[in-house]
């Protein structure tokens, strides 16, 4: 498996609280991504990063922010969690050019 660690693996939080999910890679890959996976919607891109401090929005970025201060870490923050953000969140990484995407094992987030 590619060296990708997501933390926490599971989290339950209340509506309105801030939540930060962490993705850590040991592959020194340039690109990092946050996806959410929901029944009926499949995998959707939230934000991605193409370098330290370089990020861009994906398809479903509202309500989420990201930061990448080091090559190996990509943080996803829900400023004020809502029930619609209950989902499984996946981090992914890829190198430059035609490199395959490699995924972490996911974080299951429940917002009550």
* Contact residues for other proteins, defined by CB under 8 A: 4, 31, 33, 42-45, 48, 50, 56, 58-59, 90, 92, 94, 98, 100-106
Indicate the residue among 60 and 111 with the shorter CB distance to other proteins: 60
Supply the minimum distance, in Å, between the C-beta of residue 48 and other proteins.
Answer: 6
Contacts of 36-42 spanning 24+ positions with Cβ under 8 A: 36/60, 36/87, 36/88, 36/89, 36/90, 37/87, 37/88, 37/89, 37/90, 37/106, 38/87, 38/88
Min. distance of Cβ 13 from other proteins in angstroms? 20
> What span, in angstroms and rounded, lies between the C-alpha atoms of 22 and 89?
10
85 closest CA partner among 43, 50, 37, 47: 37
Task: Please state the closest distance from residue 15 (CB atom) to other proteins, in A.
Answer: 25
With tokens 């498996």, the residue in question is 1
Q: How far is the CB of 45 from other proteins (least distance, A)?
A: 5
CB-nearer residue toward other proteins: 15 or 26: 26
Closer residue to other proteins, CB minimum distance, 19 or 36? 36
């Amino acid at each position: 498996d590619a060296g990708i660690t997501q933390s926490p693996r599971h989290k339950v939080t209340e509506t309105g609280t801030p939540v930060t999910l962490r993705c850590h890679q040991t592959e020194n890959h340039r690109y990092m991504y946050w996806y959410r996976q929901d029944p009926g919607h499949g995998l959707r891109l939230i934000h991605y990063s193409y370098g330290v401090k370089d990020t861009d929005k994906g398809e479903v970025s509202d309500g989420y922010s990201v930061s990448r201060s080091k090559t190996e870490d990509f943080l996803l923050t829900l400023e004020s969690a809502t029930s619609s953000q209950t989902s499984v969140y996946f981090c992914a990484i890829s190198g430059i050019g035609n490199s395959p995407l490699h995924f972490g094992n996911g974080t299951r987030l429940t917002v009550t």
